[in-house]
Amino acid sequence: MAQIKRMECQLEIKSSADKFFDAYKTEAHLMPKMANQVVRDVKLVEGSGWDSEGSVRQWYFVAGGKLINTNM
């Protein structure tokens, strides 16, 4: 059964919103460098590329001092 999870955080980035969204959408592997306070790692689990439709990414977040992983 599928689970719906929600994680919300605020952090300051030194980039335009368009550049940040583009990196999130097509180059998620850069997120640990852009938001290292929250994102520890991102791995491509399924799909032919970071921007391919239907790709599955495994995200590793830090929340409350604990490492949390989730697939998106």
Residue 50 lies in a domain: yes
Phi, psi at 51, each rounded to 5°: -105, 10
Domain extent for 28: 17-61
- pLDDT for 72 equals 64
Residue 12 lies in a domain: no
Domain count, the chain: 1
- pLDDT for 61 equals 85
Residue-wise pLDDT for 6-60, tens only, equals: 767 777 778 888 988 888 888 888 888 888 888 889 998 888 888 888 888 888 8
44: left (phi over 0), alpha (psi -120 to 50) or beta: beta
Can you give the pTM of this predicted structure?
0.68
